[in-house]
């Protein structure tokens, strides 16, 4: 396919930006080839620097639940822009945003805005430590919570070993405060609490995992996590940066009827501009400065443009209630891939809920990090490029979720199903 403009831009970018990208997965390292540059996006489509139109199942990694460049979000930003881009004082949009979040997300009584999902999880963990006066945290292998030090740790060698840093530059002493466990494993969680009595400040998890591909919990697992954290006086943090307003208006916690103590949000609540938020029980949230001793701040937090974009997006979700329809479209995609795999004799798993899905080329059902890694990444790379050549863009990694938006109409989904079928047939 014609990539002349993208190749030229990437060559320039690589001179000045490490790896040519400002976020690593954009570099296509895990699928091979040169990333395409996008000069515009509209609805469900990306338009590349070489004027190719692609049906987009990445949706800017989740935020674009209304598709790209939605007229109402654009208009909301334009209106806010008339009045100024940042004030450094409280502004009316922040209040409206807080009211919407508290209204939609069942467990949130108070909320603080920040600028990214990374800030949200980092701040929520500091708050949990301040509240419990404990230092250790539990996270799960394969759950991604942004790139702050104590969260960039994935799999140690078993439930009770201390974490090893995933990234250079994370001090081993920080990593020791993070206990990493397998997701969906009750016995491992129970053992970790027994091995660290009165030391666990919080358990943080993606209630539905979206950053190792898409993985759902076993029935009753989230309820178990809620019960054991409550029993040990440990703060339960749901990282719903990806699932918030996507799985349901109130996120996974609404769908599963589980009440975490704190919740992290981002992505959709910014309507395509940079935003994060964390919120939850009022008694915990009131420990944040200026009311309490846990410090957290941000020059651009509650930025009026970002708030205006996010508010417009959330109001549209309220009006449209698109979740049943998104699930229908998601099922159609899933069924097409499963049927294509059967026809070709290639084992494939397609976990899917609502507008989130992923495609693992493995015979083993995927329920945690280890089973996700059984997916054939080489085969996925070939599938990815076969789809891209036919005008369908999936996330450029075997371990990322796919996303639908309300702008994906029947024609786009039909076309994608056809492309998936052809791509699998050609493997």
Residues binding ligand PLP (CB under 6 A) = 116-118, 121, 144-146, 206, 210-211, 239, 241-242, 266, 276
Residue 409 annotated among the catalytic residues of the structure: no
Q: Of the two residues 123 and 406, which places its CB atom closer to ligand PLP in the complex? A: 123
Q: Of the two residues 184 and 211, which places its CB atom closer to ligand PLP in the complex? A: 211
Closest contact distance (angstroms) between CB of 118 and ligand PLP is 3
Closest contact distance (angstroms) between CB of 290 and ligand PLP is 25
Alpha-carbon distance 172 to 157, whole Å?
A: 15
Closest contact distance (angstroms) between CB of 63 and ligand PLP is 9
Catalytic site residue from 185, 239, 261, 368? 239
Q: Of the two residues 242 and 404, which places its CB atom closer to ligand PLP in the complex? A: 242
Closest CA to 155 of 171, 144, 166: 166
Cβ-closest position to ligand PLP = 117
Closest contact distance (angstroms) between CB of 240 and ligand PLP is 7
Catalytic site residue from 93, 139, 144, 221? 144
Q: Of the two residues 279 and 341, which places its CB atom closer to ligand PLP in the complex? A: 279
Q: Of the two residues 163 and 207, which places its CB atom closer to ligand PLP in the complex? A: 207
Catalytic site residue from 139, 185, 267, 393? 267
Residue 267 annotated among the catalytic residues of the structure: yes
Closest contact distance (angstroms) between CB of 24 and ligand PLP is 12
* Cα dihedral 368, 57, 306, 256 in deg (nearest 10): -40
Kind of pairing between the strands at 45-48 and 53-56: antiparallel
Closest contact distance (angstroms) between CB of 117 and ligand PLP is 2
Q: Of the two residues 235 and 424, which places its CB atom closer to ligand PLP in the complex? A: 235
Alpha-carbon distance 398 to 381, whole Å?
A: 7
- Contact assessment for residue 179 and residue 196, using Cβ atoms and an 8 Å cutoff: yes
- Contact assessment for residue 178 and residue 221, using Cβ atoms and an 8 Å cutoff: no
Residue 327 annotated among the catalytic residues of the structure: no
Closest contact distance (angstroms) between CB of 124 and ligand PLP is 11
Among all chains, which residue has been given the structure tokens 């104590």?
Answer: 150
- Contact assessment for residue 91 and residue 307, using Cβ atoms and an 8 Å cutoff: yes
Q: Of the two residues 193 and 278, which places its CB atom closer to ligand PLP in the complex? A: 278
Closest contact distance (angstroms) between CB of 306 and ligand PLP is 12
Q: Of the two residues 116 and 371, which places its CB atom closer to ligand PLP in the complex? A: 116
- List, by residue number, the catalytic residues: 144, 239, 267
């Amino acid at each position: 396919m014609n990539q002349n403009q993208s190749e030229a831009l990437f060559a320039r970018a690589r001179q000045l930006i490490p790896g040519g990208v400002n976020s690593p997965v954009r570099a296509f390292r895990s699928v091979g080839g040169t990333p395409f540059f996008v000069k515009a996006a509209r609805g469900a489509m990306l338009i590349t620097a070489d004027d190719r139109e692609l049906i987009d199942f990445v949706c800017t990694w989740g935020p674009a639940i209304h598709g790209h460049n939605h007229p109402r979000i654009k208009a909301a930003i334009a209106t806010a822009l008339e009045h100024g881009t940042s004030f450094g004082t409280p502004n009316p949009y922040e209040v409206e945003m807080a009211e919407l979040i508290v209204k939609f997300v069942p467990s949130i009584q108070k909320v603080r805005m920040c600028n990214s999902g990374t800030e949200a999880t980092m701040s929520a963990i500091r708050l949990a430590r301040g509240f419990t006066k404990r230092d250790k945290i539990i996270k799960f292998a394969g759950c991604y919570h942004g790139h702050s030090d104590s969260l960039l740790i994935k799999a140690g060698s078993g439930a009770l070993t201390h974490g090893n840093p995933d990234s250079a530059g994370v001090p081993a002493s920080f990593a020791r405060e993070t206990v990493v466990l397998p997701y969906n494993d009750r016995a491992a969680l129970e053992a970790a609490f027994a091995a660290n009595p009165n030391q666990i400040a919080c358990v943080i998890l993606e209630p539905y995992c979206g950053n190792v591909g898409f993985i759902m919990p076993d029935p009753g697992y989230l309820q178990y996590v809620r019960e054991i954290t409550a029993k040990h006086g440990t703060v339960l943090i749901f990282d719903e940066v990806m699932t918030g307003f996507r799985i349901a208006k109130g996120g996974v916690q609404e769908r599963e009827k589980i009440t975490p103590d704190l919740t992290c949000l981002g992505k959709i609540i910014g309507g395509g501009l940079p935003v994060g938020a964390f919120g939850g029980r009022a008694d915990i949230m009131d420990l944040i400065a200026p009311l309490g001793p846990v410090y957290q701040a941000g020059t651009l937090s509650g930025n009026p443009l970002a708030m205006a974009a996010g508010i417009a997006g959330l109001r549209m979700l309220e009006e449209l209630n698109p979740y049943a329809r998104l699930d229908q479209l998601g099922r159609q995609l899933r069924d097409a891939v499963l049927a294509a795999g059967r026809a070709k004799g290639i084992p494939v798993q397609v976990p899917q809920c609502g507008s989130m899905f992923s495609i693992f080329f493995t015979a083993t059902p995927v329920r945690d990090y280890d089973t996700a890694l059984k997916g054939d990444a080489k085969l996925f790379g070939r599938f990815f490029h076969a789809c891209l050549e036919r005008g369908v863009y999936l996330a450029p990694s075997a371990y990322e979720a796919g996303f639908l938006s309300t702008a994906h109409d029947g024609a786009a989904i039909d076309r994608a199903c056809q492309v998936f079928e052809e791509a699998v047939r050609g493997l």
